[in-house]
Amino acid sequence: MATDPPATTAPQAPLVCIRGLRFTRASRVIFDGVDLDIPRGKVTAIMGPSGTGKTTLLRLIGGQLKPMAGSVVVDGQEVAKLGHGELYALRQRMGMLFQSGALLTDLNVFDNVAFPLREHTDLPEAMIRDIVLMKLEAVGLRGGHQLLTNELSGGMARRVALARAIALDPMMVMYDEPFAGQDPISMGVLVKLIRLLNDAMGLTSIVVTHDVSEAMGIADHLYLISDGKVVEQGSPAQLEDSASAWVHQFLHGEPDGPVPFHYPAPDFFEDLMAGEQ
């Protein structure tokens, strides 16, 4: 008796699909034909030198900016073509951890995390209280729910901002330089939380950073961006094995290579002699 072949599960479409992205500021090209996919349920890191448009990419995904050409599709919706109401609804499904934390300084920890729940839902206060305490427990700060923002260390403030980012149980969280300015312990806590929350909540995480070791430690997939292009992409192991000298220089922090130590200048001896003429 013939048996049916085992069913195969079709691969899921990427949560974020970017094709032919072009974006400029004045005469400066930020992105020039970038193609990029963010897989569902994974941690994807976007890395590159300072000023290469990593934060701009998050703003394009969130709809704060519109591309000059190409498309940014999030969960099947082309962001630039959404109306105001549709974009507002999509953003409610995205969490954002800003580099500065962006906490509301007039509110305490509890009210900062409760803010999106009060703003976007009609939940009773008793339920909001339970949700806030659960989110703060997840980042290890339930005991500090009554603290004011000026009583928080930099690492604690970043964790409160993360609790707020996941308050509405988003499908995706975007992290803008989450490790910037953090001491080693705080950085280690954030690295652990990003991975733990992504897996426990079934999130999709996009981490924009230039902290190589932290990104390589938690990311499932990485993109390296420079000069408006994707220079390299792949798993941490694949990037380590890349034949690109630029990738090797970036990952290992070497002072000289394809990105030279010296700014372009005429011959040093000729430059010295010119001053004696």
Q: Which string of DSSP letters, residue by residue, matches 104-134?
A: -TTSBHHHHHHHHHHHH----HHHHHHHHHH
Q: What is 40-55+94-238's CATH number?
A: 3.40.50.300
pLDDT of residue 98: 82
How far, CA to CA in Å, does 183 sit from each of 90, 179, 186, 187, 256?
Answer: 34, 9, 5, 6, 27
On whether the CB atoms of residues 78 and 240 are closer than 8 A, the answer is no
Q: What is the per-residue pLDDT across 170-222, written as a single tens digit (0 to 9) for each? A: 999 999 888 877 778 778 888 888 898 899 888 999 999 888 888 888 899 99
Residue 4 φ then ψ, to 5°: -70, 145
Question: Which of 233, 146, 237, 159 lies closest to 197 in space, CA to CA?
Answer: 159
- The domain segmentation of the chain, as residue ranges, is 40-55+94-238
Residue with tokens 């934390």: 101
pLDDT of residue 9: 53
Question: Taking the alpha carbons of 99, 104, 105, 107 in that order, is the dihedral positive or negative?
Answer: negative
pTM for the predicted model, two decimal places: 0.84
Question: How far is the C-alpha of 47 from the C-alpha of 38, rounded, in Å?
Answer: 14
pLDDT of residue 53: 84
Pick from 90-94, 123-127, 225-229, 258-262: least confident: 258-262
Over residues 15-28, the mean pLDDT reads: 89
- Number of neighbouring beta carbons within 10 Å of residue 28: 10
- Number of neighbouring beta carbons within 10 Å of residue 95: 25
Question: How far is the C-alpha of 243 from the C-alpha of 241, rounded, in Å?
Answer: 6
Distance of CA 212 to the CA centre of its chain: 14
pLDDT at 5 over 80: no
Question: How far is the C-alpha of 270 from the C-alpha of 263, rounded, in Å?
Answer: 16
Over residues 124-143, the mean pLDDT reads: 91
- Percent of the chain past pLDDT 90, that is, above it, reads 30
Question: How far is the C-alpha of 69 from the C-alpha of 73, rounded, in Å?
Answer: 13
Q: Is 228 helix (H, G, I), strand (E, B) or coil?
A: coil
pLDDT of residue 4: 62
pLDDT at 73 over 90: yes
Question: How far is the C-alpha of 126 from the C-alpha of 73, rounded, in Å?
Answer: 37
pLDDT of residue 256: 67
On whether the CB atoms of residues 221 and 234 are closer than 8 A, the answer is yes
Q: What is the per-residue pLDDT across 76-120, written as a single tens digit (0 to 9) for each? A: 999 999 999 999 889 889 988 887 778 888 889 999 999 999 988
Q: What is the largest CA-CA distance in the chain?
A: 98
